[in-house]
Structure 1
Amino acid sequence: MILNKIFPFCIFLTLLSCSQDVKKHENMNLSFEERAENLVSQMTLAEKVSQMSYESPAIDRLEIPEHNWWNECLHGVARAGVATVFPQAIGMAAMWDREQMFEVANAISDEARAKHHQFAENGKRGIYQGLTFWTPNVNIFRDPRWGRGMETYGEDPYLTGELGVQFIKGLQGDDDTYYKVIATAKHFVVHSGPEAERHSFNATPSQYDMLNTYSPHFKKVIQEGGVYSVMCAYNSYNGLPCCGNKSLSNLLREEWGFKGYIVSDCWAINDFYMPDAHAVTSSQQEAAAMAVKAGTDLNCGNSYPSLVEAVKNGLISEAELDISVKRLLLARLKLGLFAPKGAVKYEKISYDVVDSEMHRLLALQTARKSMVLLKNENKLLPLNKSIQKVAVIGSNANDLEVLLGNYNGYPSAPVTPLEGIKQKLPNAEVKYAVGCKLAEGLPIFEAIPASVLFTDETCKTNGLSAEYFNNKELKGEASHTRIDSNVDFIWGTTPPFEDLAYDQFSARWKGVIKVEESGDYALGGEGFLGIKIFFQDSLLISRSEVHHPHKEYEYVHLEANKPYSIQLEYIQDNTEHAMMRLLWEKPNSNLADEAIAIAKEAEVVIFCMGISPLLEGEEMKVKVDGFAHGDRLNIKLPATQTALMKEIKKLGKPMVLVLLNGSALAVNWENENIPAIVEAWYPGQAGGTAIADVLFGDYNPAGRLPLTFYKSVDDIPAFSDYDMKGKTYRYFEGEALYDFGFGLSYSDFTYSNLKAPDHIAPGDCVEISVDVTNNSKIDGEEVIQCYASNPQAGGVNPNRSLVEFQRVMIKAGESKTIHFTIEASQLTIVDNQFKEMVMAGELKISLGGAQPNLQRIKERKVLTKNILVEGSACEMGK
């Protein structure tokens, strides 16, 4: 009897104890580490493994909600519907402005928090809806051919590190307890193309290059920026895939003190066993075990589910998984994802911050600051606003894609260069012509008009028969049917019908196309997730399982007055921006004639040229000569553009060239023949307004190049050569077209009264000051740059290195004294024992508006000072 009474009571106590254990993760009196450890202790093996993939499912019994770790915010919250879109990363780097980088990132994280909380309140926890962002890309843009270089902060490790620290701080917030969002420094390490080889390439940099170029900025964003996540790269490093390379995680954690978690690049673990990739393991289980043992905690991909069997087969222990799972839960706790409502101050950020007027103004200010004036012969710029006739020419003049770059969100009111110029000159006649293809083989797309689309072969009714389904599989009976005159829809978050979920529907269009002119047509489409186009009952285009829209096309021959069947299918699945467009390029041999005609009538010709995210980017299928897999084979401006400008130059009109691009261009003819050139990058939603402000003098440009513009690829080593000799301003011995750090202004600045010590001891910092005067009648910003070189360092070290910079506003006629403190760590070289040392001997310091080799630029005077470093060399540590 007594036993019968005691036994149920014991069960009750056990259950109570378990209940209390389950709730420990909500106990605010326990540390995050204790709470994470408690949760891990209660998980089954399968549950632990489930939390190590980017699509982490809910564990209801432990009150762990679903979490998708994949999110992007390279220059604005990306792929999650309407958001403020700032200039592409390379454009923001051209600002050379720490404070502005922080403000941009702070605005982005405000929008990120607001979006996440709205998603969560509506039960949405999918891709691009969380708080863990895979930004910034701090790889070194060591070669201008790399298609993803636009995502970086340029070619210099100091500039990259300084800007990266500010961006990370702006993202992660200033709360002592909770992160605003978590930033991710990527891609670790020695990663910068070629894109075609990234799944199999083995980077073997010298120890000199590793210490001087490939690692300092990663070290900085960890130790100074406090970044809480690092993404390992696709490529191998010294024979092992980066995501399976223990030496790299040891460098991060043991030497640099990194406390966060490591995430793989997407499907990088698959490369471990794929025969056409690294092929260092024979199975998915071995690959997954290798990655976790090497410190890769989180898998973007589908490899880590095999860890359950890997544990059972003895390839890895459950205790080893526990380390990674704890790190991941700790990150979620530090984001406040398990905190009681109201505990996290960032929950108070209202959704109306998204696309707010304040953020739109910040995007405009940032775009203005990113503009680099490369040439201004005879002070052609700024243009007079009294001009009555303007010709705007070029396929980049009125194209949304070149505003947005890649990894982008969707602005509500983007302004192209053409629109910006028209708004600037409301009383002038502004005419526009495309003039030429951006590159031979790249179509000039437009929506296929209703006039050539018909519901059936009788060709009596214009448009296409449309079916809309309240599911993402095109299944069952259509919820709605109608005739759509054409398919050119950007719904965003507003579905085509009120009873459809904007992120869960599908559509099909059927009909025929009949043209009046025979010829070769580029036929294609653009959609967010899944699109298919059938032509004459055969599949022409299929694109699915992508996370951003991209134009896909094929050339087809159409005979005049002959009907061809066409069918489109579209699937919208858990994304925040719905769009589907049926596009074409029809034969047109009059492009140049149209441009020449409007140029003849104009007082000034403004070219909007460059390249496009359709040509450069991440592992792309590009069918254009001179481009491959997203990279470039040369760095010339495509010949189609130069040929057109040569023809228009014969007219003798004043000409201005605005470049829109994400990487350096060898515009040699243009530099010799066009009097004014502005580099505008991919400038974001306000790009057109910012360009017009610069061209017509409402903003004084002060951007500086964050990378070298070479004259030819023949001037630099092979793209696949990761030896830094001959690449970037730090090692390049030739004459550049435009140097790193270069940029002009409408103001005239001079430097005087440089003060620096005559001698220092190794390990001392260097205090420097200089007076900067604006001798013009125009207020302007100047970017003061300080470089150091060690003549005794030897050929394995840089010729010179940027060691400080500051962007300063100086009013007309005003002088300012600028003070710099150069830390000893910035003055190091790598000795033959691979130690970072401040050497005794001569140290050369230059200070001015450019590098010391730019003495030929009168507008950018540079002052120099030799400092003697006395005593014994000083090792600066790891």
Structure 2
Amino acid sequence: MTRHIPFALAPLALAALLTTAPALAQQDPAARAASLVAQMTLEEKAAQLGNDAPAIPRLKIPKYNWWNEGLHGVARAGYATVFPQAVGMAATWDEGLMHDVGDVIATEFRAKYLATRAPDGGTDWYRGLTVWSPNINIFRDPRWGRGQETYGEDPYLTSRIAINFIHGLQGDDAQSFKTIATAKHFAVHSGPESNRHREDVHPSPHDLEDTYLPAFRATVTEGKVASVMCAYNAVNGIPACASDDLMEQHLRRAWGFKGFVVSDCGAAANIYRDDSLHYTKTPEQAVAASFSAGMDLICGDYRNKMTTEAGPIVNAVRQGELKEAVVDRALVRLFEYRIRLGLLDANPPQAYAAIKPTDNDTPAHRAVALKTAQEAMVLLKNDGLLPLKKTPKTIAVIGPNADSEDALVGNYNGQPSHPVTVLAGIRARFPDAKVVYAPGTGLVGPAEPPVPDENLCVDAACRTPGLKAEHFEGPDLAGTAQGAVEKNARAAWQEGGHNASARWSGYLKAPRTGDYSLRYLSNAGYRIWVDGKQIVDAWDVTDSPSIEAGKAKLQAGKTYPIRIEAVQRGARGDQKLVWSTPIDASREAVDLARRADLVVFVAGLSANLEGEELKLQVPGFAGGDRTSLDLPAPQERLLEQVVGTGKPTVLVLMSGSALSVNWADKHVPAIVQAWYPGGEGGHAVAGLIAGDYSPAGRLPVTFYRGVDGLPAFTDYRMDGRTYRYFKGDVLYPFGHGLSYTTFRYGTPALSAPSVAAGSPVNVDVEVANTGKRDGDEVVQLYVAKPGDAANPTLAGFRRIHLKAGERQRVTLALDARALSQVDAAGARKVVPGAYTVYLGGGQPGHAQTVKVALTVTGTAFGLPK
């Protein structure tokens, strides 16, 4: 067991203690950390409390940037294995697979760290081993743009997926960590994006304990997560990053958390900024409030110029507002975990010594990504079209996401080195078919193909094709540029590069007269000039995609001066100049559908539309959030035209949230929810259509018929939200998903028909594959409790594989928490009475289930928070 030095000891006392136990200082991470902290000046201490911690050479402490993202693969650090977006991984309902995914991601973090660390062991941004994932906020409202980052709307499912992901990330060695996971955002955070820096949330005691906190508790008590990120918002009038109730009373005292707390990026500045929470008047008061309450590390938000430098920490200590012992406490926590990661030693921990710099983006890892994508696919509807009975002669692949890499990766993503779009997957899986393609439309407007090479010229007379390119090492187009003539403004940025920029200049030749719209396909800042006029200024975009475009009226045959400037932040394999033209692209798509034997219509959204604090205002979307759940109007119109041809159509939805495809549910024979399926997503979609495997993904969120009937987005009450509290008719329920085979459940049995409150009970049921195909089934267990408004609630699940005709007995355990409920005062207890336990492939009332009665006697109070 790790020995912790008392934090109240002053630095000299700590040093004196450690001089009497030099061997302990070498062996025990906490003692070794305390020894280092005791030797630092106040200024050095303060500098170590920010995410970009500088080196202290005299103490042999290398530079370390704590900021690393690993939501569904190593993010923003170049090529990596990209798994399905988090909500898609939750759709697998596969705990063991989630552990494997976390393990692969941790291996790739280790590999990148080894490949990029400085000679002294120092690391830069996105190259360390502290991973700011998973996001375990509850996806309470389908309009939240960041809901794609979560594991859905149910606290229990979120907990189980997160625990296994964390175990995979952190490794199985009791003394050292493979990486460190971070459960975020603590707490009660789930939009809107437009107000996230000012939101003061007042959840009821019931909702706080029943919905918003259980996943955090589980990741601490069972997942043993080593880090927690406090949220932007305030809870009950107090900023989350300055809340003693959250960080001390709940996190450390009630749940026994031993790790460190990092602020969300900019959240510490929110505490004092007058355009944010303005809880304190000065930065010094803000750092005093946050560190005293239990925050240990500040992440500054460069994107919004919301940073908290070391100066206020030094000033707060010297002015008597912040005790230096509190600073020491935070630093000992931080350095203990740097030591346990091996970041202060020449060699990695023995448990991970076999990992090599080349163990990144390997075929074996991509195979895990493919398996995850296959398990994440949810067959929403099937009138018998799927699986295909034979290979069609001609397949028309249509839709804005059919050949989109953006639709593969979602947000907080790495760059797949071999991205397989749905179009590429169809072509690979059906080599004997004629596969034709037309996007037909863009996501929310006209189709945006790349500007053809023949329309870009170095000179005004268009004698030389291409554009003059200037590439700069820094992000600000400064210094000496490397020049060349390049086609389009295409940039396969250097893998792993983070500070680079480019300028392309030349002439644009219009093929016909009319209105054009141009933008740069990018994950960072860009701007465009046509004929001397700036038509796009998205230079401030950082680490998130943009669909900001500019309009220009052009005449056929005329050439116009054009200039494009772009910044690189992270790698993207295919950045380019795209446009919409006066040509009606939908006609081509409908014509292809008429001539095809099968249509695969790939629709949905992308992280350009739903995401984190986007600068976006288009119909149906606002700042990253959604104002409508409908399929965007241009896609809906094209879908209806394509289906109107009478050709068999498979609708593939790629999104990070629910879509109200009510018309499609009535008129399209087969609908697949593919999420943002990762680098191998196209193979997974094509294999499902072909019948290479039987789909078994299940929805981790409710698909509503629209926003009507939902409470206001800003209302944090859970009444009327999620499958647990929504009473209206839904399009597709939580837990829903179809298969290519059939399953039958036997009569369930309990280990005891009656138990005393607080006692566990096991539920046993036989599941048989009664179809003609092998397949997975997700056994779901729901419990209806006496007087509970959330009835029935998910309390257990297991994904199993059964060959055709095979039977398997499944046992699921119900502990006291699974049988408990929360009263209006926020107290959790088990009450006496008649309970009903349901088992099946979905929710009772929406799927065939079997049930068994359970009697609970007595009352159990005082269940742990």
Q: TM-score, normalising length from structure 1?
A: 0.92
CA 1:464–1:647: 2 relative to 1, 3 Å: closer
CA 1:335–1:381: 2 relative to 1, 3 Å: same
Give the Å deviation of 1:300.
0.7
Moved more, 835-844 or 485-494: 485-494
- Residue 867 of structure 1 corresponds to 854
- Aligned to 2:708, the other structure's residue is in SS state helix
2:206/2:825 contact within 8 Å kept: no
Q: Deviations over 1:789-823 (max 9, x none)?
A: 11323x4xx12211110001111111111111111
Give the Å deviation of 1:522.
2.0
CA 1:390–1:322: 2 relative to 1, 3 Å: same
Give the Å deviation of 1:24.
9.3
Give the Å deviation of 1:535.
4.0
- Residue 636 of structure 2 corresponds to 642
- Residue 190 of structure 1 corresponds to 188
Moved more, 63-72 or 449-458: 449-458
- Residue 8 of structure 2 corresponds to none
CA 1:476–1:410: 2 relative to 1, 3 Å: closer
Give the Å deviation of 1:458.
4.5
CA 1:610–1:829: 2 relative to 1, 3 Å: same
1:288/1:304 contact within 8 Å kept: no
Cα distance between partner residues in 2 of 1:477 and 1:596: 49
**Paired amino acid for 1:68:** N
Alignment size in residue pairs: 841
- Residue 566 of structure 1 corresponds to 562
Give the Å deviation of 1:842.
1.1
- Residue 433 of structure 1 corresponds to 438
CA 1:711–1:549: 2 relative to 1, 3 Å: closer
**Paired amino acid for 1:816:** Q
Give the Å deviation of 1:876.
2.0
Aligned: 1:597 with 2:602: no
**Residue pairs, 1:674-753, within 5 angstroms:** 674-753=668-747
Give the Å deviation of 1:266.
0.7
Q: 1:488 aligns with which of 490, 493, 497?
A: 490
Q: 1:754 aligns with which of 748, 754, 759?
A: 748
Aligned: 1:782 with 2:777: yes
**Residue pairs, 1:101-112, within 5 angstroms:** 101-112=98-109
Moved more, 575-584 or 145-154: 575-584
How big is the alpha-carbon RMSD for the aligned residues of Structure 1 and Structure 2?
2.3
Moved more, 124-133 or 98-107: 124-133
Give the Å deviation of 1:126.
0.9
Cα distance between partner residues in 2 of 1:665 and 1:476: 47
- Residue 498 of structure 1 corresponds to none
1:664/1:709 contact within 8 Å kept: yes
Cα distance between partner residues in 2 of 1:52 and 1:44: 13
Moved more, 814-823 or 509-518: 509-518
- Residue 791 of structure 1 corresponds to 786
Cα distance between partner residues in 2 of 1:347 and 1:26: 24
Q: 1:380 aligns with which of 378, 381, 385?
A: 385
Aligned: 1:447 with 2:450: yes
Aligned: 1:318 with 2:301: no
Q: 1:412 aligns with which of 402, 414, 417?
A: 417
CA 1:421–1:473: 2 relative to 1, 3 Å: closer
Cα distance between partner residues in 1 of 2:593 and 2:140: 39
Cα distance between partner residues in 1 of 2:477 and 2:590: 48
Q: Deviations over 1:225-275 (max 9, x none)?
A: 000111111111001111121211121011111111111111112222322
- Residue 283 of structure 1 corresponds to 282
Q: Deviations over 1:67-114 (max 9, x none)?
A: 000001111111111100010000000000000000011011011101
- Residue 821 of structure 1 corresponds to 813
Moved more, 634-643 or 517-526: 517-526
- Residue 133 of structure 1 corresponds to 131
- Aligned to 2:744, the other structure's residue is in SS state strand
Give the Å deviation of 1:132.
0.5
Q: 1:395 aligns with which of 381, 400, 405?
A: 400
CA 1:831–1:77: 2 relative to 1, 3 Å: same
Q: Which has the larger radius of gyration?
A: 1
**Paired amino acid for 1:221:** T
Moved more, 263-272 or 342-351: 342-351
- Residue 223 of structure 1 corresponds to 221
- Residue 511 of structure 1 corresponds to 506
Aligned: 1:850 with 2:842: yes
- Residue 308 of structure 1 corresponds to 314
Cα distance between partner residues in 2 of 1:49 and 1:381: 61
- Residue 7 of structure 2 corresponds to none
**Residue pairs, 1:325-340, within 5 angstroms:** 325-340=331-346
CA 1:547–1:22: 2 relative to 1, 3 Å: farther
Give the Å deviation of 1:179.
0.5
1:336/1:344 contact within 8 Å kept: no
Aligned: 1:69 with 2:66: yes
Cα distance between partner residues in 2 of 1:852 and 1:709: 16
1:534/1:541 contact within 8 Å kept: no
Aligned: 1:246 with 2:233: no
Cα distance between partner residues in 1 of 2:15 and 2:767: 69
- List gaps (5 residues or longer) in structure 1: 1-16, 495-501, 855-859
Cα distance between partner residues in 2 of 1:712 and 1:528: 30
Cα distance between partner residues in 2 of 1:702 and 1:413: 26
- Aligned to 1:278, the other structure's residue is in SS state coil
**Paired amino acid for 1:877:** P
**Paired amino acid for 1:82:** Y
Moved more, 185-194 or 308-317: 308-317
Moved more, 281-290 or 264-273: 281-290
CA 1:103–1:23: 2 relative to 1, 3 Å: farther
Q: 1:86 aligns with which of 83, 87, 97?
A: 83
1:503/1:578 contact within 8 Å kept: no
- Residue 6 of structure 1 corresponds to none
Aligned: 1:294 with 2:314: no
- Aligned to 2:403, the other structure's residue is in SS state coil
CA 1:532–1:647: 2 relative to 1, 3 Å: closer
Moved more, 506-515 or 349-358: 506-515
- Aligned to 1:826, the other structure's residue is in SS state coil
Moved more, 41-50 or 353-362: 353-362
- Residue 857 of structure 1 corresponds to none
Q: Deviations over 1:171-195 (max 9, x none)?
A: 0001121111000000000011111
Residue identity (%) = 44
CA 1:103–1:616: 2 relative to 1, 3 Å: same
Give the Å deviation of 1:369.
0.3
Give the Å deviation of 1:555.
2.3
- Residue 11 of structure 2 corresponds to none
Moved more, 597-606 or 643-652: 643-652
- Aligned to 1:332, the other structure's residue is in SS state helix
Cα distance between partner residues in 1 of 2:84 and 2:575: 25
- Aligned to 1:159, the other structure's residue is in SS state helix
Moved more, 243-252 or 162-171: 243-252
Aligned: 1:665 with 2:659: yes
- Aligned to 2:834, the other structure's residue is in SS state strand
- List gaps (5 residues or longer) in structure 2: 1-13, 301-306
Cα distance between partner residues in 2 of 1:247 and 1:578: 42
- Aligned to 1:662, the other structure's residue is in SS state coil
CA 1:60–1:267: 2 relative to 1, 3 Å: same
Give the Å deviation of 1:614.
1.1
CA 1:304–1:789: 2 relative to 1, 3 Å: farther
2:374/2:695 contact within 8 Å kept: yes
**Paired amino acid for 1:40:** V
- Residue 466 of structure 1 corresponds to 469
1:492/1:576 contact within 8 Å kept: no
**Residue pairs, 1:263-278, within 5 angstroms:** 263-278=262-277
2:25/2:35 contact within 8 Å kept: no
- Aligned to 1:824, the other structure's residue is in SS state coil
Cα distance between partner residues in 1 of 2:264 and 2:486: 41
